[in-house]
Structure 1
Amino acid sequence: MSLFENESVWAEKLNPIISKYKDKKHPLDYENLYQLMVMVILSAQDSDANINKIAPALFKEYPNLEVLSTATFDKLFPLVSKVRNFNTKASWLIEIAQTLKTDSNIPTSLPELIALKGIGRKSANVIMREMKAPAEGIIADLHVIRVAPRIGVIKEAKDGNTVEKRLMETLPKEIWGEIGMAISFLGRETCRPTNPKCPECPIQNDCHYPLKTI
């Protein structure tokens, strides 16, 4: 059997993790689309846990885009200073707020989201998945970049855009909306970088990683 199989085969093999993680909320502790967008931007090259820690104070001061649009860097700085690359991210947030003006103008389509500063394809796919917008791509975060090749779905790649492209070429569109986050959750909980919990894995019988460990 080939290591890389057609989309119908992999769709069936990945169904157990899609079923397990379908509709499970992203680890970012957001309450609405505005908070999700801000937290996704801040979380780039940072941890979800760190963003969850700084979020309450940030949103108490800036509860929506209308208020955020009045922010200056000096006022926003103390609230995001513990975030990686906070200088750039703070500037992005202020620019987005001044562009969109109100929460009701936040888009949920891929082209409109990636047109905003600080939002790439991965971030846009996360926002769309959480808002249940029709999928136009597949989430390819650090966990997906690591786990998808380990499972055997795609060949190894170093960047998220390449991983996303290969997954989109391999998997049917009807599972795009959930499969990225399902693989991400699998990587967070079970398919760890070291000492993965293979006996607990829902797709252990179809995963190619054990073949490399024999």
Structure 2
Amino acid sequence: MNLFEQTNWPEAFKPLVEKYKGKQHPLHYGNIYQLLVMVVLSAQDNDAHINKIAPDFFKKYPDMKALAKANTAELTEALSSVRFHTNKIAWLQDIASEIKEDKNIPTTLKELTALKGVGRKSANVIMREAGVQAEGIVVDLHVVRVAPRLGITKGKNADKIEKDLMAALPQSMWADAGMAISFLGREICRPTNPKHSECVMNTVCEYCQAHKS
């Protein structure tokens, strides 16, 4: 059976979405300003590292107004351990000078992706956490790996995978589906030795069915 073509994905995804619905995002943010800064910093770095440096950073720069006043030297001192910090500092300065205050942070895909350093994945994360209607699906590195395993997509890159997920699932599921797949990838569907017996998707997953012992 070709699961990609024949599986009722909205029904199949219900247990997965339910399992991770409301689970705290891996970035430990306190508000949308902090989340915006942290998603910019976490690109090509890792969430645990950004979580570690975030408290001290936000003590110094508690809001967009404070960030807009910071100079490059100050930000470099605070963010020197972040990968590609030079580019990210420039992006944050550009964002802060444009937005100016927390209340001006946009929550639409078009406006968010217009900001320096914010791609579709980051925009979808921000929109999900802000509780606004989803316009796309979060596709991070875990989703890129896990979604093709499930059989819901044959895509190899984030754009194609997101399009396939959006086509297979109703918009009401978009906000939670991407992060649910991401959490599944972090906890159960690991790159090696995935825990098939613990997976709520094991009856519909092509990879699981193909690797049954």
TM-score (norm 1): 0.96
Partner SS, residue 83 of structure 1: coil
Give the whole-Å Cα distance in 1 for the aligned partners of 2:82 and 2:2: 44
Partner secondary structure for residue 194 of structure 2: coil
**Counterpart secondary structure, 1:4:** helix
SS at match of 2:5: coil
Shift of 1:87: 0.3
Task: Select the residue among 177, 183, 198 that pairs with 2:175.
Answer: 177
How far apart are residue 130 of structure 1 and its match? 0.8
Match of 2:28 in 1: 29
Q: In the alignment, is the contact (CA less than 8 A) between 1:144 and 1:187 conserved in 2? A: yes
Structure 1 residue 14 displacement after superposition: 1.1
Cα distance in structure 1, aligned partners of 2:155 and 2:211: 17
Q: Is the 8 A contact 1:92 1:117 kept in 2?
A: yes
- In 1, distance between residues paired with 2:196 and 2:204? 11
Task: Give the Cα–Cα distance (whole angstroms) in 2 for the partners of residues 15 and 89 of structure 1.
Answer: 37
Shift of 1:94: 0.9
Structure 2 partner of 1:151: 150
The corresponding residue for 1:2 is 2
Determine the C-alpha separation between the residues in 1 that align with 2:62 and 2:6.
46
Equivalent-residue separation in structure 2 for 1:81 and 1:74 (angstroms): 10
Deviation at 1:145, TM superposition (A): 0.4
- Number of the residue aligned with 1:20: 19
Residue 67 of structure 1: aligned partner: 66
How many angstroms apart in 2 are the aligned matches of 1:23 and 1:129?
11
> Which residue of the partner structure matches residue 109 of structure 2?
110
8 Å CA contact 1:25, 1:130 repeated in 2: no
Alignment partner, residue 188 of structure 2: 190
How many angstroms does 1:165 deviate by? 1.4
User: Cα distance, 1:211 vs. partner?
Assistant: 3.0
Structure 1 partner of 2:209: 211
Aligned partners of 1:6 and 1:170 also within 8 Å: no
Runs of 4+ that moved beyond 4 A: none
Q: Which moved more, 1:162-171 or 1:68-77?
A: 162-171
Distance 1:63 1:144 in 2: 32
Query: What is the percent sequence identity of the aligned residues?
Result: 55
**Unmatched tracts of structure 2, length 5 or more:** none
What is the Cα deviation at residue 81 of structure 1? 1.0
Give the Cα–Cα distance (whole angstroms) in 1 for the partners of residues 149 and 139 of structure 2.
Answer: 14
Would you say the 8 A contact 2:37–2:92 is kept in 1?
A: yes
Corresponding residue for residue 49 of structure 2? 50
Counterpart check, 1:11 vs 2:10: yes
CA distance in 2, matches of 1:131, 1:96: 18
Counterpart of 2:133 in structure 1 is 134
State the match for 2:77 in structure 1.
Answer: 78
Unaligned runs of 5+ in 1: none
Higher mean alpha-carbon deviation, 169-178 vs 61-70, is at 169-178
